[in-house]
Amino acid sequence: MAVTSGYALSLPATWIPIPTGFPWQSFDDPTAWATEVADSLLEGLDAPQEVRSGVREAAEALQAMPSPLPGALERFWRVEGIGGPTIVAHLYVTESDVDSAEGLMDMVRAGIGGRVQTWRVWTDTAFDHAIEAVIVAEIDGATVASVRQIGVRDGLVYLLDFLTEDPLLLEAVQSELQEIFRSIRFGAGV
Mean pLDDT score, 21-32: 95
Paired with 142 in beta bridges are 139
- pLDDT class of 4 with cuts at 50, 70, 90: low
pLDDT of 1 above 50: no
pLDDT of 140 above 80: yes
Which pLDDT belongs to residue 5?
A: 64
Which pLDDT belongs to residue 188?
A: 64
More confident residue, 3 or 86: 86
How would you class 179 by CB atoms within 10 Å of its CB: exposed for 0-12, middle for 13-18, buried for 19 or more?
middle
Which pLDDT belongs to residue 63?
A: 96
Mean pLDDT score, 138-155: 94
Which pLDDT belongs to residue 87?
A: 95
Q: Which residue from 85, 55, 113 is spatially nearest to 172, judged by alpha carbons?
A: 85
Mean pLDDT score, 117-132: 95
What is the spatial distance between Cα 88 and Cα 170, in angstroms, rounded to a whole number? 11
Percent of the chain with pLDDT over 90: 83
What is the spatial distance between Cα 156 and Cα 160, in angstroms, rounded to a whole number? 13
- What is the average pLDDT score of the chain? 92
Report pLDDT digits (tens) over 151-174. 999 999 999 999 999 989 999 999
Mean pLDDT score, 128-150: 95
Q: Is 13 helix (H, G, I), strand (E, B) or coil?
A: coil
What is the spatial distance between Cα 81 and Cα 14, in angstroms, rounded to a whole number? 9
DSSP string, 62-111: HHHSPPSSTT-SEEEEE-TTTTS---EEEEEEEE----SHHHHHHHTTTT
Mean pLDDT score, 108-127: 94
Report pLDDT digits (tens) over 77-100. 999 877 788 999 999 999 999 999
How would you class 64 by CB atoms within 10 Å of its CB: exposed for 0-12, middle for 13-18, buried for 19 or more?
exposed
Which pLDDT belongs to residue 123?
A: 87
Report pLDDT digits (tens) over 49-58. 999 999 999 9
